Amino acid sequence: MNVKMVLDKLNIDYESVEHTNISSFNAQGVDYVVVGADVAPTLEFDASKMIVLTNILSKEELEEKLKKVLKIN
């Protein structure tokens, strides 16, 4: 899973990374969300904790946006 790989690369500790579909999403207990730009507008979640990707397969984009949201240089 790309999210775990990027978090490991950045040496960020995490409790869990879970995958779900939009219709099953429950924000309770969720710290951050990684989502595609096409479905982000339909998700009811704090935008400041949402990592919105144009290309969900791009590890580079994911890393760049995770660093920004997590305030890592």
Tell me whether residue 10 is in a domain.
yes
Please write the tens of the pLDDT for every residue from 7-35: 999 999 999 999 999 899 999 999 999 99
pTM of the full structure: 0.87
pLDDT for 73 equals 77
Cα–Cα–Cα angle for 8, 50, 59, nearest 5°?
40
Q: Which domain holds residue 61?
A: 2-18+28-70
Tell me whether residue 23 is in a domain.
no
- Dist. CA 8–CA 29, nearest whole Å: 21
Whether the predicted pLDDT of 41 surpasses 80: yes
DSSP 33-62: EEEETTTGGG--S-GGGEEEESSTT-HHHH
pLDDT for 1 equals 77
Query: What does pLDDT average to over the chain?
Result: 94
- Report how many domains make up the chain: 1
Nearest Cα neighbor of 66 from 6, 5, 2, 14 is 6
Residue at token pair 């240089």: 73
Tell me whether residue 58 is in a domain.
yes
